[in-house]
A = this chain, B = another copy of it.
Amino acid sequence: MNVSQSNLNNSVLKAFDLLEHFHPDKPAWGVRELAQHIGANKSTIYRLLATLEHIGVLQQHPETEKYSLGLKLFELGHRVGIQSALVNKTHDILEEVTKEITENVHLGILQSNEVLVVDKVDSPKGLKLNFQLGSRSPLHCTSMGKTLLAFAEKQEEIIEELDLFSKTPYSLTQKMGLIAALNQIRKDGFALDREEYELGLICLGVPVFNQNGKAIAALSASGPANRFREEALKDYVAILQKGASAIQQKIGNFQIKF
């Protein structure tokens, strides 16, 4: 566990490295278990866990004694959205778009070669097989991902680093095919995901530009395949694009660090 780097605070780096290991697939860890997984001494891990538990960033289950993410993190994490110009100022626009399309609407940004969902509004209709706020999704098989990639400045670099795994039989797994799709998306001004991410799920995405013309986010609508008929798509694209330009006007020259 040698995280040492320039002038950065080692303990802080290690603490957040620890927190990364608490994800939905493995939300609770014991001391030895986590120490072994990371390859660090159990005393070190114990003290880090105890520290994080002390301030509420982690909580220890009273019976199992395992640690999981705590409410302090919940609180701090939600402050980000409240304080972020992108999320805070534009939530109302997402609600309007949702009302018009009556499907789940998401706002996502490009981060670490994935889509990070930064805001969403659920459709009044039932059926909620969709993306969680704060979750990450792959770039190559989602409408938001392909949109962001199509308008990304470092598109080629990013594609080189991607793992074009097959999420469904419809996923684009070939570099050439992906690049062709991206070119088409740039021409069309929208991206379509026909069950590339999940069978039965169709997503439609459009880019959100800032006032310098840089694509800083993607806006998408998603729902079950039977509700996304060919004839409806054109209307949906128009509604999404209207929402995207409304966002553009609200945020001005907003920038996001990738």
Of B70, B71, B80, which one neighbours A73 at CB under 8 angstroms?
A: B80
Inter-subunit contact A72/B135 (CB<8 Å): no
Interface presence of A185 (CB below 8 A): no
Inter-subunit contact A134/B51 (CB<8 Å): no
| CB neighbors of B among A8-52 (8 A) | 8-13, 15-16, 19, 22-24, 27, 47-48, 50-52
**A-side binding surface: helix, strand, loop or mixed?**
mixed
A54-62, A150-158, A162-170, A238-246 - interface stretch: A54-62
Interface presence of A69 (CB below 8 A): yes
| CB neighbors of B among A62-87 (8 A) | 62, 68-84
Inter-subunit contact B79/A76 (CB<8 Å): no
Q: Please report the C-alpha to C-alpha distance between residue A111 and residue B71 in the assembled complex, in whole angstroms.
A: 9
Interface presence of A136 (CB below 8 A): yes
Inter-subunit contact B80/A74 (CB<8 Å): yes
Interface presence of A116 (CB below 8 A): yes
Interface presence of A118 (CB below 8 A): yes
Inter-subunit contact B9/A79 (CB<8 Å): no
